[in-house]
Chain A
Amino acid sequence: MTEREKPHTFVVYVENKPGVLNRIASLFRRRGYNIESLTVGHTERPNISRMTIVSSIGEGAAHRVEANIYKLVNVLSVEDVTHGTTISRSLALIKVEAPEESRHRLMEIVRVFRARVVDLAPRSLIIEITGAEDKIHALVDVLRPFGILEMVRTGQVVMRRGVQERAESSPPKGAQDDPRPSQQKTGPELTGAGALVEAEHPGSV
C-alpha cells in the first residue's frame, strides 16, 4: 500500500456488552493498524455506548476497517467522520515543575491558553486543558521547557456539527415491529468517505 496515511476518526455506536471493544480493536490489530486514541462512554440512550476511534491509516484501509466494523453484530452504526465538519475535543492533565521563580510565567501561559490550574503543590502544579488536539499540542510544546513531570490525555471525542441525517433516517424494512431500539444500523457508504451531511454552521470555533 502506497496510499498516504492520515488520522481517520471513526464514530461507532455499540451495544454496551462485554467484549465489544475487543471485537472492534481486533479489526485494527489483525491488519497491523495502530489505534492512536480511543474513547468510550455512555450515550443518551440506555445500554448503548459511543466510541471515538482515531487511527492513522490510508483511505482504502479506513474504508476496509469501517466496512468490517459495520459487520460486527454488536455495532449499531459506524461512520468515518474524517472528512466531515466536526467538533473535536480532548482533555489533558499536565503536571509541570513549578518552582517559585517560574510559577508566574506558567500562570500567564495557562491564561493565554484558557486552561486551568487544578492543583498547586510546592514544586509543581497540574494544568487542565480542554480543546482540539492542536491546541493541546501547542500548550505541551510551550510547557516542555519548564519540565513536564506527568501527563494524561483522554483521547479525542468527536461530534458532527448540525443535524445528523443518517442517524435519524426511517427504520428499515421489518424493524418497525421490533420494540428494541438497537435495530437500526447505519453503515459506511461505498465510496468509503462517508456521506457528508450539510453543516448547519460552517467554520470552526
Chain B
Amino acid sequence: MNERSSDKPGPRKLTGAEIIWECLERLGVEHVFGYPGGAILPTYDALTRSRVHHVLVRHEQGATHMADGYARASGRVGVALATSGPGATNMVTGIATAMMDSSPIVCITGQVGSSVLGSDAFQETDITGITIPITKHNYLVTRADEVAASLREAFQIAASDRPGPVLVDITKDAQLGTCEFDWDAAAPRAHRQVPDFFPAPAKLNEAAALINESQRPVILAGHGIILSGAGEEVRRLAEAADVPVALTLLGLGAFPASHPLNLGMMGMHGEAWVNQAIQESDLLIALGMRFDDRVTGKVNTYALKAKKIHVEIDRAEINKTVHVDVPLIGDLREVLQRLLPLVKPNRHSEWWSQVHISQQDSSVRDIQNLPDNGHLYAAHVINDLWRETKGDAVIVTDVGQHQMWEAQYYHHEKPRSLITSGGLGTMGFALPAAIGAKFARPDSEVWVVAGDGGFQMTMAELATIVQEKLNVKIAIINNGYLGMVRQWQEFFYEGRYAGTPLLSPDFVKLAEAYGIPGLMVTERSQVVPALHTSRFHAGAALIDFRVEQEDSVYPMVPAGADLHAMIRRPTPLVERPTDD
C-alpha cells in the first residue's frame, strides 16, 4: 500500500477503506468527526495514510452535531464517522436534527460483514432502516466497488436542492475488499432534474402584481435565504418595494438586524409588533421558510387578511400547512433574480406608522429598558455578549429559554452567525455544534450559549475541545431549572414544577478539571468584565452565569393559540413573590 501514488494516472487497486478517504479528500473534506469501533476499523486503519484530519469525539451524537455545526457555519458538507450498532444508533438524534434544519451532512457508518447481515451479529443494527425517515437518502454498501459512487452521490444529494443528511452504511467486507478505483466512473448522476425548475413567467408576473398592489406587505425571511445565498436579493426586494422583513429563528442573520426594514423574529417568542404586522398584513412574501407551527400559531386564524406568495425549493412545503396563492418553486436566489425586475419601487408610509406604534408599546416593556433591580437576567447577559462581541461572533445555542433570549437580544447582522437547532429542538446541540463551527471558521469568535440542562447532555465534548486545542467560549445560562419547561408549567400547569428543578455540578470546577478556565457570574456588574476576560484568554473558556431562576421568555404565543394572542411581559416588571 505504501507504493500508492496519487500522481499515477489511470485506475488503481485500492481497498474500500482507502477509497473512502481518497473520495473524502477529493471531495474537499478537511475534517471528519468520528469514533472508532470494530466494524469501522479497516477505515480507521486506512486513516493513517490519509491527509484528512480526524476529530475524536466523546459520543457519536456529538460527531453528528459537529458535522452539522461545521456545515451550518461554512455551507460545506460536514462528515461524521462511526461504527455499527450503538455507534450508528447514537447518531440518530444528530441526523434528525440535520434533517429538520436542512443541514448538509454525510454520516458514514461501519456495518457488520455482508455475509452476516440480518443475523443479529455483534453490534449489528439496521441503521439504514432506522434512518429512512430522517435522511434525505441512505445507502447500504456491501462491495468495495460501490463505495466511490455511493459517497460521491451522497455528497451531491446532501448539498443539493434542500440540503439534508445522507447516511452511507459500509459493511466491513466492503471496506476490506479491493477494486480498481476510478474516480470519474463514480461520478454521480444528477438525481434531481425538475423540468419546471423555474417558475413560469406568468407565475412571476402574478407574484409581482401582488407585491406592486399590496398596501401592507410583510416578507417572511427563512433559512432558505442563507442556504441559497440570497441575502442580497432579499435586501433589494425589501428596499425596492419598502417591505418590512420578519425573520424565522433559522432566518436570523439572513437580513441585517440593523437594517431599518428589519422587524425582528416572528412566531411563538417573536416580538409582539412582528406578529401583529403579520396578522394585519395584506400580503405575506414567504422566502425560504416553511410555516412551521412555532411560526404560525393556530393555522386557522393565521394572517387571514393576507394573500400569500411562497418561494420555496421544496415543493412538498407548498400548501403543507398554510394555503398559498402564488407558489414559486425553485432556488430562492434565482427566483428572486427573475422576480426583481418586475417589482416596482413603492412606499408604504401608512403601513410603517402602524407598525411603529406597536413597536413603541413593546419598547416600554423591554427588559433592557427597565431599571436595574439587582437581579441578573439572561436577557442582559445576552445583550452584553452582543455588545462586547460587536455582534460579530458565531453564536451556537442550545435549546430552551436561553435560545429565545439569544434570538431576541443578540442582533445578527450576517448569515451563518447564529447556529441553533430549530426544527427538532435538540438539547445538547450547542457544545458539539460549536466545535464543528470552529473547525469551519477557525478565525471567527465562536460562543456556545447553553442552558444548564442542555449543556449537561453533551458536556463530555469539553474533552474534545481540549484535545483539539480549540478556542471555543462557553456561556452557561444557569437558572437551576429546565427553564422553558418550567415556564410552560408556570403558565399552563399552575406552577407544578415536575421534573424541572435541576441540580448541576460546579461548572467552573468541571471546566477546570478539563483544563479550561472558568468564571462564575452572579451580578450584572460582573457580566462585562467576565466576558472581557474570557474573550481575551487565548483558549477555551467557560462562564457560569447564575441568572434569575424563574424568569420567563416574553412575549409568548401559547402553542396552538392565535398568533396575535400573546402573553406580554408584565409592565413595569413586577417582582414575582417568592415561592410559597
Which A residues are closer than 8 A to B by beta carbons?
18-19, 22-23, 26, 30, 60, 63-64, 67-68, 70-74, 169-175, 178, 180, 182-188, 190, 192
Contact = CB atoms under 8 A, between A and B. Distances in A.
A127 B150 CA distance: 48
Contact of B315 (A18, A60, A67, A178): A67
Contact of A192 (B192, B194, B197, B319): B319
A171 to B, nearest CB: 7
Contact of B195 (A19, A23, A186): A186
Contacts, number: 66
Given A172-B197, A180-B189, A71 B140 contact: no
A182 B189 contact: yes
Given A173-B193, A173-B197, A30 B133 contact: yes
A165 to B, nearest CB: 12
B144 interface: no
A174 B190 contact: yes
Interface of A is mostly: loop
A63 B327 CA distance: 15
B157 interface: yes
Residue of A19, A169, A174, A180 contacting most chain B CB atoms (<10 Å): A19
Contacts of B193: 171-175, 183-185
A68 B194 CA distance: 14
A28 B197 CA distance: 26
Contacts of B320: 64
A26 B315 contact: no
A67 B290 CA distance: 14
Contacts of B132: 19, 22-23, 26
Interface residues of B, number: 24
Interface in B53-76: none
Contacts of A192: 319
Contacts of B129: 19, 22
Nearest to A183: B193
Contacts of A70: 315-316
A172 B157 CA distance: 18
B318 interface: yes
Nearest to A25: B132
Given A64-B316, A64-B320, A67-B316, A26 B192 contact: no
Contacts of A26: 132-133
Contacts of A64: 316, 320
B379 to A, nearest CB: 38
Contacts of B327: 190
B140 A183 contact: no
Interface in B117-135: 128-129, 132-133
Given A26-B133, A172-B195, A188-B315, 19 more contacts: A18-B140, A19-B132, A26-B132, A30-B133, A63-B319, A67-B318, A73-B137, A73-B157, A174-B193, A175-B190, A175-B193, A178-B190, A183-B193, A184-B195, A185-B193, A185-B194, A187-B315, A190-B319, A190-B327
Nearest to B142: A18
B329 interface: yes
B438 interface: no
B190 A19 contact: no
B316 A190 contact: no
B314 A73 contact: no
Given A190-B327, A190-B329, A73 B315 contact: no
A68 B316 contact: yes
Interface string B326-338: 0101000000000
Nearest to A29: B133
A28 to B, nearest CB: 11
Contacts of A18: 140
B194 A190 contact: no
Contacts of A174: 190, 193
A7 B282 CA distance: 37
A26 B197 CA distance: 27
A175 B318 CA distance: 25
A198 B193 CA distance: 25
B341 to A, nearest CB: 21
A26 B329 CA distance: 25
B442 to A, nearest CB: 34
Given A172-B193, A178-B190, A183-B193, A190 B315 contact: yes
B191 interface: yes
A63 B192 CA distance: 19
B566 to A, nearest CB: 27
B314 A71 contact: yes
Interface in B190-204: 190-195, 197
Interface in B295-323: 314-316, 318-320
A71 B316 contact: yes
Nearest to B129: A22
